[in-house]
Structure 1
Amino acid sequence: MASQSTYEFYKDDLSKIPPLRAIAETLLSDKRVRKVNAAEAYELARKQWDVMETDHPIYPEAAKRLGLPEGAKLLNHCHGKIVGRTALARRFYNRLSDSDQRKVAGDLREAICDLQERPLIKAEAVVGLDQDLMIKATILGSEDDAANIFNWLVNFTPFEELAEEYAKSTKLPIQDIIIIGDNLWRNEDPFYHNQGFPQLALVDEDCNVIYNFGMRYFGERKKGTLTLAWTSGIRVGMAACHGGIKEIDFSDCPDEEMKKIGKKSIAFFGLSGTGKSSHTNSHDNGGTLPEGFSKHVLHDDAFQIDTAKRVCRAWEPTLFDKTDSRPLGNPDWKYMVSVMNHAMMEIDGKVMPLGQDIRNPNGRALIDRDVLGKYVNRCSFPDSLCWLMKDTCLPPIIRFSDTYLAVAMGAALMTKRNLAENVSEEELKKLVFIPYANPFRVYELWKDVEAFAGVFDNGASGYSFNSVGYWKSSDTDLHAIPLQTSLTLQTMILTDKLEWEDWDLLPGAQLPKRNCIEKILPGFYDTYNPKNTENQAEYIQTLKDRFAQRRHFLEQTDDLNCKPQLLAKLTKMLRIKD
């Protein structure tokens, strides 16, 4: 399925083209705007004032695919104060009052006039890797933003690579995506967010357009594009997933019991730092998967679930990953295509990027999917969906036996912010709610609720993993939950090794039984049993408070309480028993 151009979508009545789409389309149609491919964008990026060329080679297979010269080197795009996403900079055009819309549209036209004083370039890509879900996208910026345009082409797929497949796709009732960026935009009007310097992400999700102004960080272009892609998928009845998913095949295992399991797919939803990529990309779950298994990763960050056809589809051919745990020499460096905000140093006569967040937090890289080994562009319907929580009151793993508890826990997913986001130090300390771990949702929450209820009702099982630590004697004195423990639990889910007992404090939730968990993780049952927590009364009160916060969050969410019956089904399940 393919998207439609502006003319195709609005041709029956061109007067219906929304103003933000008309402004973007007018700029794209300017004959002075030069269309570039990945190789041309790379050469322009090499000359960009805030980009440095290293001596580390780009992964040769990726360089060849992108048409780069043989021996092309990694480019390091370094920023100033802001090295992460700024969610507070978003302004949703369709939610503004009429007077604010007029103001913003005027400011936008003025910003576009300023942008046109500089040489402009544009590039085209296909968002989506499966022929049944492809959207054409165009990005436009000035020549001094070539690094972001090159990285955008790396992150998605240059249009010419998939032109034949795209041409064969059936048309979707969706507009092409348009992304306009200007890093040099400045506007001191307090209407716009200023943390570091003025920034604006102006979103019109109804017409698939985003403007990124004052935003150097590539994640804004990437997540802006994905925001519109996820929303497009929702518009055609699919579930949008800010998560990772992989498929494990046990068919070739010598162990007959394992062989009978066949294929299992498992998905993980969480913000950066919760273990989403670790769970999705781990080679063998820390050595716990049985001999003979094979693994295919769809993606570790973004996909769509088509419940009607019982498949999942990937949006991107690369990974945009943190490099804090990837020192130079880590095997993943072989697959690097571009890096951002890295310290560099001359080593044995070569200038090399160092990783490990030495220069600043949230150093990032675009990594070719070959780093995953085997991967696919579509995979089977998920057997398991796992919410990755940062809530010290929750045991390391919980299974949800009730659909609406599973859905409610995803809708009120509790976590902490992280250094991938441009927020204050105070905000980093707070527990926050990010429904389905997707801070990029721009449509009503009830649409996600209904979509995930459909996924669970069609056979997926729901779980939560605690990725922060579990209450020992207080909210700060915790039992650690090692990643190896969580990976082992994941394998036990995949191999059907867990048996469950009801958690008496939370109806609809279950915890692992002693006999099965102790065989593989000795000491787990007593260490993480809610009945064994110290200061039991304080623990239960804190647990009640957390679930009251969850209920309050959902009840105060305007785009959910407009569906009172649906809301009641969720809040009914979010109660701790006395």
Structure 2
Amino acid sequence: MSTKNSYQLADIGRHNPIFSQIRSTVETAFYGNNMHQVADVTDAYHRATKDPGTVITDLPIYRATDLGLPADAKMLIANTGKVVGRTAQARRILGNPGVSEADMAGRLRQAIFDSAHQDFIKTDVLVGLDEDFIVRAHLAIPDGFANNLLSYMLNFQPITAAYQAMFERSVAYPEGDIYIYADPTYHDPDYPDGLAIFDPQHNTAAILGMPYFGELKKSTLTLAWSIAHRHGFVACHGGLKAFHFKDKQDQVFAMFGLSGSGKSTLTHAKHGYKYDITVLHDDAFVINRQNGSSVALEPSYFDKTNDYPMTSDETKYFMTIQNVGVTLDDQGRKVLVTEDLRNGNGRTIKSRYASTNRVDKEDAPINAIFW
């Protein structure tokens, strides 16, 4: 299924369930003179290398050109301040008790107005990696936060010719594209810890006063999962892998649990290489309720770095890294100090090549669930 970002004139207005006060406020901001489109992943990378807070390591990104990056691309680090994780108390979800759309819309209008003289950068990605489920998402964020925009493009699927063709082949649903407006520099006086406004019925969110990349990733997934739920899919935050056998039915396992409980570890476990295993994803997928097939929502992995010292083979697949330390090795190279030494919840966007047995769709239904 696919979403829409343009309409017949007769379809625009209050009568169309795609539109709402919050959605109109956010989408309008994307067309301002202060908005600058980032052309592709290479453009985003070059912008990120120029951000004042960026640390350009001496560690090459594995298979950089296959990821749309320059051949000589290096792993980039962007660190935040006191807050290094998501902020639950900042979330205000329309439809929940006590959340006023008029109040949230007013606060959002003020945030956008106050930032109108600030340059923003924006990009488009796809969420969902098969024509069975593939939706388009747009992100706008102030210039100076290009690391977050680059991580967004690497975490989700940049729009290449092949994926655009997949998107156009998919069945169109009466849903608008996802829009995420982010401004880490704006602080509403009534919300000192930040404000995250969600309008899930209209595929829109605004993330204000929070620079942590995970807010952008999870807000996009939240809206994509909402779309999936409305159209015959089960939204899943977990891992899925399949064991393939020549003499019996494939076994498809799904792993669910709280953050840090081992979903990724179990999903990626090789089990001594005794089995033919394929991995769908370790964090986000949807299940088709009609036929039981599953689709991954992201090509990459947003992984904790606490288990990966520089001697770990996993660091080979890092692309961007957040909230970790840097030091010089015995060759004078800038390398990572991980294991949550600087702070808790160090994170990396790890490429799909970390899984040699990766698939984007699993046709067989799940027959075992682990919590």
TM-score (norm 2): 0.94
Paired with 2:35 and 2:177, the residues of 1 have a C-alpha distance of 18
Once the two structures are superposed, residues 79-134 of structure 1 have per-residue CA deviations (whole angstroms, 9 ceiling, x without a partner) of 11000111121001333658x43222111111001222111111000111011110
Summarize the alignment of residues 488-499 of structure 1 with structure 2, pairs less than 5 Å apart: none
Paired with 2:338 and 2:142, the residues of 1 have a C-alpha distance of 28
Partner residue, 2:66? 65
Partner residue, 1:432? none
User: Is this contact kept in 2: 1:2–1:134, CA < 8 A?
Assistant: yes
Paired with 1:123 and 1:199, the residues of 2 have a C-alpha distance of 23
Paired with 2:308 and 2:251, the residues of 1 have a C-alpha distance of 29
Paired with 1:335 and 1:101, the residues of 2 have a C-alpha distance of 42
Paired with 1:24 and 1:327, the residues of 2 have a C-alpha distance of 41
Partner residue, 1:238? 233
TM-score (norm 1): 0.61
Summarize the alignment of residues 417-428 of structure 1 with structure 2, pairs less than 5 Å apart: none
Paired with 1:104 and 1:310, the residues of 2 have a C-alpha distance of 38
Partner residue, 2:102? 102
Paired with 2:108 and 2:204, the residues of 1 have a C-alpha distance of 13
Pick aligned residue for 1:266 from 253, 257, 273: 253
Once the two structures are superposed, residues 507-556 of structure 1 have per-residue CA deviations (whole angstroms, 9 ceiling, x without a partner) of xxxxxxxxxxxxxxxxxxxxxxxxxxxxxxxxxxxxxxxxxxxxxxxxxx
Deviation at 1:238, TM superposition (A): 1.1
Partner residue, 2:314? 332
Partner residue, 2:218? 223
Identity of aligned residues (%): 35
Partner residue, 2:277? 295
AA in 1 matched with 2:225: W
User: Is this contact kept in 2: 1:7–1:14, CA < 8 A?
Assistant: no
- Say whether residues 1:52 and 2:45 are aligned partners: no
Which piece of structure 1 moves more, 299-308 or 168-177? 168-177
Once the two structures are superposed, residues 326-385 of structure 1 have per-residue CA deviations (whole angstroms, 9 ceiling, x without a partner) of 100211111111111111001121001122111111111111121111111111210111
RMSD: 1.7
Deviation at 1:168, TM superposition (A): 1.5
In structure 2, the CA distance between the partners of 1:237 and 1:49, relative to structure 1 (3 Å rule), is same
Max radius of gyration: which structure? Answer: 1
Paired with 1:45 and 1:23, the residues of 2 have a C-alpha distance of 28
Paired with 2:102 and 2:250, the residues of 1 have a C-alpha distance of 54
Pick aligned residue for 1:39 from 33, 36, 42: 42
Partner residue, 2:30? 28
Paired with 2:78 and 2:57, the residues of 1 have a C-alpha distance of 11
Summarize the alignment of residues 511-530 of structure 1 with structure 2, pairs less than 5 Å apart: none
Pick aligned residue for 1:341 from 320, 323, 327: 323
Paired with 2:95 and 2:219, the residues of 1 have a C-alpha distance of 16
Describe the SS at the equivalent of 2:194.
Answer: strand
Paired with 2:324 and 2:303, the residues of 1 have a C-alpha distance of 13
Paired with 1:101 and 1:176, the residues of 2 have a C-alpha distance of 20
Partner residue, 2:290? 308
Paired with 2:12 and 2:320, the residues of 1 have a C-alpha distance of 43
Partner residue, 2:20? 18
Paired with 2:33 and 2:69, the residues of 1 have a C-alpha distance of 26
Paired with 1:11 and 1:117, the residues of 2 have a C-alpha distance of 33
The structure with higher relative contact order (CA 8 Å, sep 6+) is 2
Partner residue, 1:317? 299
AA in 2 matched with 1:382: I
Describe the SS at the equivalent of 1:268.
Answer: strand
User: Is this contact kept in 2: 1:277–1:300, CA < 8 A?
Assistant: yes
- Say whether residues 1:382 and 2:366 are aligned partners: yes
Deviation at 1:13, TM superposition (A): 4.4
Pick aligned residue for 2:346 from 363, 385, 400: 363
- Say whether residues 1:205 and 2:200 are aligned partners: yes
Describe the SS at the equivalent of 1:102.
Answer: helix
Query: Where does structure 1 lack aligned partners over 5 or more consecutive residues?
Result: 252-259, 388-578
Describe the SS at the equivalent of 1:129.
Answer: strand
Paired with 2:32 and 2:213, the residues of 1 have a C-alpha distance of 25
Partner residue, 1:464? none
Paired with 2:295 and 2:264, the residues of 1 have a C-alpha distance of 17
Paired with 1:265 and 1:139, the residues of 2 have a C-alpha distance of 34
Greater than 6 Å deviation, 4+ residue runs: none
Q: Which has the higher helix share?
A: 1
Paired with 2:283 and 2:75, the residues of 1 have a C-alpha distance of 23
Deviation at 1:40, TM superposition (A): 1.5
User: Is this contact kept in 1: 2:186–2:209, CA < 8 A?
Assistant: yes
User: Is this contact kept in 1: 2:188–2:195, CA < 8 A?
Assistant: no
AA in 1 matched with 2:227: S
AA in 1 matched with 2:343: N
Partner residue, 1:132? 132
User: Is this contact kept in 1: 2:233–2:287, CA < 8 A?
Assistant: yes
- Say whether residues 1:373 and 2:356 are aligned partners: yes
Describe the SS at the equivalent of 2:221.
Answer: helix
Once the two structures are superposed, residues 420-457 of structure 1 have per-residue CA deviations (whole angstroms, 9 ceiling, x without a partner) of xxxxxxxxxxxxxxxxxxxxxxxxxxxxxxxxxxxxxx
Paired with 1:307 and 1:93, the residues of 2 have a C-alpha distance of 26
In structure 2, the CA distance between the partners of 1:97 and 1:357, relative to structure 1 (3 Å rule), is closer
In structure 2, the CA distance between the partners of 1:6 and 1:204, relative to structure 1 (3 Å rule), is farther
- Count of aligned pairs between the two proteins: 364
AA in 2 matched with 1:275: G
Deviation at 1:31, TM superposition (A): 4.4
Deviation at 1:145, TM superposition (A): 1.6
Paired with 1:66 and 1:138, the residues of 2 have a C-alpha distance of 19
- Say whether residues 1:91 and 2:84 are aligned partners: no
Once the two structures are superposed, residues 123-174 of structure 1 have per-residue CA deviations (whole angstroms, 9 ceiling, x without a partner) of 0001110111100110001111211111000000111351111121110222
User: Is this contact kept in 2: 1:307–1:381, CA < 8 A?
Assistant: no
Partner residue, 2:334? 351
Paired with 2:12 and 2:37, the residues of 1 have a C-alpha distance of 28
Summarize the alignment of residues 553-568 of structure 1 with structure 2, pairs less than 5 Å apart: none
AA in 2 matched with 1:158: P
Deviation at 1:54, TM superposition (A): 0.8
Paired with 1:97 and 1:245, the residues of 2 have a C-alpha distance of 36
User: Is this contact kept in 2: 1:83–1:217, CA < 8 A?
Assistant: yes
